[in-house]
A and B are shown apart, each in its own frame.
Chain A
Amino acid sequence: MGRYIIKRLLQGIPLLFFISIILFVLMMNMGDPVATMGGRRVTRASDYERLRRQLGLDKPIYTQYLYWLIGNDWTKTDVDGDGVAETPGTRRGVLRGDFGVSLVSRKPVLQVIGERLPNTLILMLASEFVIIVGSLLVGVYSALRQYSALDHIITALSFIGYSMPIFFIALLSMYIFGVLFKRWGLPYLPTVGMFDPQAGKTTAQVLWHMVLPVLSISIISFAAYSRYIRSTMLEVLGQDYIRTARAKGLPRREVVYVHALKNASLPIVTVVGLDLPLLLGGAVVTERIFAWPGMGRLFLDHVSRSDLPVVMGILMMIATAVVVFQILTDIVYAWLDPRIRYEK
Chain B
Amino acid sequence: MNAKRFVLTFVTAMVIFGFILTACGPKPVPEGPTVEETQAAPVQPGDGGRKVATLIYTQEFDNLAPLYTDMWFAWTTWQMFLHWAWEFDEKNEPFPRLVTEIPSQENGGLSADGRTLTMKLRDDIKWSDGTPVTADDFVFTWEMAVSPNNTVTSTYPYDKIESVTAPDPQTVVVTFAEPFAPWLATLWHGILPAHILRPVYEAEGTIDNAEWIKTPKVGCGPYLLDTWESGSYARFVRNENYWGSRPILDEIFIRFVPDDASQVAALQAGDADLGTFIAYSDIPTLQQAGLNIVTEPSGYNEWMFFLVNDQVGHPALTDVNVRKAIALSIDREAINRDLLLGLTKPPASFWDAMPFYNDPPLQNYPYDPEEAKRLLDAAGWVDSDGDGVRDKDGIPLELDYGTTIREIRQDVQAVVQQQLAQVGIKVNLYSVEADVYFASYGEEGPAATGQYDIQQWSDGPLFPDADLYYWLCSEIPSDEYPAGSNWFYLCDEELDSLIQLQATQVNIKERQQTISKINQLFYDKVYILGLWQDPDIYAVNPRLKNVKFSGVTMFFNIGEWDLAQ
**Interface of A with B (CB < 8 Å)?**
31-32, 34-51, 54-55, 79-81, 87, 101, 104-107, 112, 115-116, 119, 160, 171-179, 181-183, 186-194, 196-199, 204-205, 207-208, 211, 215, 288-294, 297-298, 301, 304-306
Q: How far is the CA of A289 from the CA of B445 in the complex (A)?
A: 29
Q: How far is the CA of A47 from the CA of B213 in the complex (A)?
A: 19
12 A-B interface contacts by CB (under 8 A): A44-B156, A46-B159, A47-B153, A54-B151, A106-B213, A179-B269, A189-B25, A192-B263, A197-B251, A198-B31, A204-B26, A291-B255
Q: Main SS of the interface on chain B?
A: loop
Which stretch (B89-97, B227-235, B308-316) binds chain A?
B227-235
Closest to A180 in B: B15
Q: Which residues of A contact B300 (CB under 8 A)?
A: 40
Q: How far is the CA of A304 from the CA of B151 in the complex (A)?
A: 20
Q: Are B483 and A173 in contact (CB under 8 A)?
A: no
Q: Which residues of A contact B60 (CB under 8 A)?
A: 301
Q: Are B148 and A51 in contact (CB under 8 A)?
A: no
Q: Are B71 and A39 in contact (CB under 8 A)?
A: yes
Q: Which residues of A contact B52 (CB under 8 A)?
A: 197-198
- A305: min CB distance to chain B, Å: 7
Are A45 and B153 also in contact (CB < 8 A) when A172-B14, A197-B253 are?
Answer: no
Q: Which residues of A contact B485 (CB under 8 A)?
A: 42, 44-45
- A60: min CB distance to chain B, Å: 14
- B339: min CB distance to chain A, Å: 22
- B259: min CB distance to chain A, Å: 5
Partner of A179, one of B75, B149, B268: B268
Q: Are A79 and B148 in contact (CB under 8 A)?
A: yes
Contact of B266 with A by CB under 8 A: yes
Partner of A42, one of B151, B233, B487: B487
> How many A-B residue pairs lie within 8 Å, measured between CB atoms?
228
- B142: min CB distance to chain A, Å: 16
- A117: min CB distance to chain B, Å: 11
- A272: min CB distance to chain B, Å: 25
Q: Are B155 and A107 in contact (CB under 8 A)?
A: no
Contact of B8 with A by CB under 8 A: no
Contact of B400 with A by CB under 8 A: no
Partner of B262, one of A160, A204, A290: A290
Q: How far is the CA of A239 from the CA of B541 in the complex (A)?
A: 65
Q: Are B232 and A193 in contact (CB under 8 A)?
A: yes
Q: Are B231 and A106 in contact (CB under 8 A)?
A: no
Q: Which residues of A contact B50 (CB under 8 A)?
A: 198
B440-463: contact bitstring with A at CB < 8 Å (1 yes, 0 no)?
101101000000000000010000
Q: Which residues of B contact A45 (CB under 8 A)?
A: 475, 481, 483-485
Q: How far is the CA of A175 from the CA of B15 in the complex (A)?
A: 11
Q: How far is the CA of A42 from the CA of B149 in the complex (A)?
A: 23
Q: Are A106 and B154 in contact (CB under 8 A)?
A: no
Q: Are B22 and A105 in contact (CB under 8 A)?
A: no
Q: Which residues of A contact B140 (CB under 8 A)?
A: none
Partner of B259, one of A47, A160, A178, A289: A289
Closest to A285 in B: B259
Q: Are A291 and B435 in contact (CB under 8 A)?
A: no
Q: How far is the CA of A189 from the CA of B75 in the complex (A)?
A: 33
Contact of B240 with A by CB under 8 A: no
Q: How far is the CA of A208 from the CA of B232 in the complex (A)?
A: 16
Q: How far is the CA of A5 from the CA of B372 in the complex (A)?
A: 77
Q: How far is the CA of A306 from the CA of B442 in the complex (A)?
A: 14
Are A297 and B233 also in contact (CB < 8 A) when A32-B443, A42-B487, A179-B269 are?
Answer: no
Q: Are B266 and A191 in contact (CB under 8 A)?
A: yes
Q: Are B231 and A177 in contact (CB under 8 A)?
A: no
Contact of B47 with A by CB under 8 A: yes
Q: How far is the CA of A188 from the CA of B271 in the complex (A)?
A: 12
Q: Which residues of chain B (30-59) have a CB below 8 Å from chain A?
A: 30-31, 34, 36, 46-47, 50, 52, 54, 56
B135-154: contact bitstring with A at CB < 8 Å (1 yes, 0 no)?
00000000000001101011
Q: How far is the CA of A81 from the CA of B62 in the complex (A)?
A: 26
Contact of B28 with A by CB under 8 A: yes
